[in-house]
Structure 1
Amino acid sequence: MLSGKNILLGITGGIAAYKTTFLVRLLIKAGATVKIVLTDSASSFVSPLTLATLSKNPVVSDFVKNEDHITDWNNHVKLGLWADLMIIAPATANTLSKMASGNCDNLLLACYLSAKCPVFFAPAMDLDMYRHPTTKASFKKLESYGNVMIPATSGELASGLHGEGRMAEPEAILSFINAFLLKGLPLRNKKVLITAGPTYEAIDPVRFIGNHSSGLMGFELANAAAKLGAQVILVSGPTHCTINNDLVTLVRVVSADEMYDSAHQHYSDADIVICAAAVADYKPKEQAEQKIKKSDAELNIALVKNKDILFSLGQIKKDQYLVGFALETENELENAKAKLERKNLDAIVLNSLNDKGAGFGGKTNKISFIDTNLTIQTFDLKTKADVAKDILNEIIKRRYA
């Protein structure tokens, strides 16, 4: 959920500040870009150099001067507008009180007041401070403003006492934010099955029949579906593409038969199925056990049809929303419409090799989305990441709107 997000981490002066080094590492590992602002007292508990090294961004604690020695008086505005999320951890009683009252006497508070994004705060203080009526009033007021509190836990405190007020552990903070971001997403609690990439059909131990599919379109679809809250099963043929998202389960296969088996294994409980793989239509009738030696001027290989994965899924379709792809070179629209009906699909994504920048191998694509009503939505040439968003938005409009 945090992949590609810009996160502004505000650190205040409490002993729990030492935990933020671990939090920064977790955020970076999750794919986020992290910038950090400290209060003056926070630097007594955690080193700005350590945080800058871990985040790979300068750490700021005051209105600073740029390379021309001109005071960058509005950096709080820049940071507040840059952030997709702001996390204040630890959030001391002092800072929480100032946030609640609108007091602005340091850069962190100025960033908070300038932020246009969701703000999460993780309180950390001794148990009597945590229970104090003024602190509870701060919690209530901040939440009424739309801020999100990550509750403190019970445990041993810096004072030596044992009780409530201990800042949530970095792993718990990350899990809390992920769970919060999932709420309200259109594909939350939905399972999406996606096939991607080519299939390789072995001729002998070293040669195969394949195609030029990179798999990128399917991987972008998986990433986009996960960002919309879906649990994704991505069945991919041989490709160099990778994905790092806890909501995506990647199943690697090689041949069309393996992809057929895996797709059917995960099909029954899928809500949405998108078959973006470029499956080989044929395979060698027989696979040589040893490498075929070069001898005659000609080599004839008998081919047989592979099982049609998309057709087979359409035949057993129940409640799934089934989407196929049609890569065409002639009579594109007619062929796509025929495939839509023949394979019992709910929609088909048409792209043409005649369109510059579309098809295999590149980072862009140009598509038309066609549903069973033969409603056609055509899009301009875009990156495959943006194309994936368009496809999922079209599905959501038809399935869940």
Structure 2
Amino acid sequence: MLERRHILLVIGGGIAAYKTLDLIRRLRERGARVTPVLTEAAHQFVTPMAVAALAGAEVQTTLWDLTAEAQMGHIQLSRAADLIVVAPATADLMAKAAQGLAPDLASTLLLATDKPVLMAPAMNVRMWEHPATRRNRERLRADGVRFVGPNEGEMACGEYGPGRMAEPAEILAAIEAELGRAPAVMASDPPAGARPLAGRHVLVTSGPTHEPIDPVRYIANRSSGAQGTAIGAALRDLGARVTFVTGPAIVPPPEGVDVVAVETADQMLAAVRAALPADAAVMVAAVADWRVAQASGQKIKKGNGAAPVLTLAPNPDILATLSRLEEGRPRLVVGFAAETESILDHARAKRRAKGCDWILANDVSPGTGIMGGGENAVTLITGEGEEAWPRMGKEAVARRLALRIAEALG
């Protein structure tokens, strides 16, 4: 799929640099040519010898190579590639690129290029969430830079949250999507910067809901919010005005969207109704099916050790409610079905029962590594047929779905 495509791979200085060795191997297996560039800090985590051996190419490390620079080597490097990939994209590299600074080879290449750039950020969660990094990220997005990740998880420093570099398989899928080598979604992928959803309003729900048992306990489904955030960002990047209704997710909502934070299913349904009208709705949230009929106003004590009896009541079915609206129904309603067995049968039945237009069946059965991971393996089920998508990173799934929605809305 990447036969004869040229990737300029900039490796930043972070512990996640070790993952780039696997990324290089995967790229070479698919026929890509890889030219690696190591920052000075990257030498502390991977060796030029290991990188060169896997890439089958000389490692570029300095702006001050007399022979290369006599022929403007940094300009040639930045223009000869089909795509520049920065992995890991450290906070320092992102800041330099956002501000147009060029003190070394890596940042000079990013400033001198006329080719698309894909960044895979990796840093401590506090660095990722810092206002300076947020500003730099939005500046780079506005300049046309694409991002894959970061994922949430445990850091090398022992903290937990968003900041882990995307896995090599995710980055590979994003590279294929950027180069137009992913399986076709539309007749043609829009060029970088195109906004086929400009003027459209899309409603997205994301994350779990928390249904209180008492002031400190709740019922919930497992959901990090990562897929919902990726979908919201992909729709935004295609020009849509996005209303993002989110439960208490681990992954923060995307920048540049209208965020409505909720906790319970009742609150989410009210927020969804208030967001209408919308051209399309993508219901990604993992809404709890049940709530405690009478939540306690005080923390329930163990007492004599007897377990409390909880009487459950059904939560409102947000997807079905939206799909069956007689007035104000979005033109396109998309649901998700996370299933552990009989995946397609259950998803088909869910689409019929809910009345939505499309549903994405997501295989989260034990052993797939999907639940809590950075990838998804989905099948898009519509009234016209089914499309089995290959396992790919959540951002690649989001991009593909956003393009499909743009096509459906014309």
| Equivalent residue runs for 1:187-266 within 5 Å | 187-246=197-256, 248-266=257-275
CA RMSD after TM alignment: 3.4
**In the alignment, which residue of structure 2 is the partner of 1:75?**
74
What is the TM-score with the length of structure 2 in the denominator? 0.56
Is the aligned partner of 1:304 residue 2:313? yes
Distance of aligned partners of 1:175 and 1:358 in 2 relative to their CA distance in 1, 3 Å threshold: closer
Aligned partner letter, 1:310 = L
Is the contact between residue 197 and residue 276 of structure 1 (CA under 8 Å) also seen in structure 2? yes
How far residue 174 of structure 1 moved from its aligned partner, in angstroms, is 10
Is the aligned partner of 1:370 residue 2:381? yes
Distance of aligned partners of 1:68 and 1:347 in 2 relative to their CA distance in 1, 3 Å threshold: same
Is the contact between residue 275 and residue 323 of structure 1 (CA under 8 Å) also seen in structure 2? yes
Residues 118-141 of structure 1 deviation map (CA, whole Å, 9 limit, x = unaligned): xxxxxxxxxxxxxxxxxxxxxxxx
How far residue 355 of structure 1 moved from its aligned partner, in angstroms, is 7.1
What is the TM-score with the length of structure 1 in the denominator? 0.57
How far residue 341 of structure 1 moved from its aligned partner, in angstroms, is 1.7
CA distance in 2 between partners of 1:252 and 1:197 (Å): 10
Structure showing greater radius of gyration is: 1
Is the aligned partner of 1:352 residue 2:349? no
Distance of aligned partners of 1:272 and 1:207 in 2 relative to their CA distance in 1, 3 Å threshold: same
SS at match of 1:286: coil
CA distance in 2 between partners of 1:300 and 1:243 (Å): 36
Distance of aligned partners of 1:116 and 1:298 in 2 relative to their CA distance in 1, 3 Å threshold: closer
CA distance in 2 between partners of 1:222 and 1:345 (Å): 19
Is the contact between residue 289 and residue 315 of structure 2 (CA under 8 Å) also seen in structure 1? yes
Aligned partner letter, 1:343 = K
SS at match of 1:250: strand
SS at match of 2:68: coil
Aligned partner letter, 1:279 = V
Percent identity, please: 31
CA distance in 1 between partners of 2:142 and 2:340 (Å): 48
CA distance in 1 between partners of 2:379 and 2:370 (Å): 13
**In the alignment, which residue of structure 1 is the partner of 2:175?**
none
Is the contact between residue 77 and residue 115 of structure 1 (CA under 8 Å) also seen in structure 2? no
CA distance in 2 between partners of 1:311 and 1:334 (Å): 18
**In the alignment, which residue of structure 1 is the partner of 2:173?**
none
CA distance in 1 between partners of 2:250 and 2:321 (Å): 28
How far residue 380 of structure 1 moved from its aligned partner, in angstroms, is 1.3
SS at match of 2:242: strand
Query: Which of residues 360, 363, 372 is equivalent to 1:361?
Result: 372
CA distance in 2 between partners of 1:66 and 1:176 (Å): 27
| Equivalent residue runs for 1:40-119 within 5 Å | 66=63, 70-72=67-69, 73=71, 74-80=73-79, 115=114
CA distance in 2 between partners of 1:79 and 1:275 (Å): 41
How far residue 221 of structure 1 moved from its aligned partner, in angstroms, is 0.2
CA distance in 1 between partners of 2:74 and 2:277 (Å): 49
Distance of aligned partners of 1:390 and 1:176 in 2 relative to their CA distance in 1, 3 Å threshold: closer
CA distance in 1 between partners of 2:223 and 2:142 (Å): 38
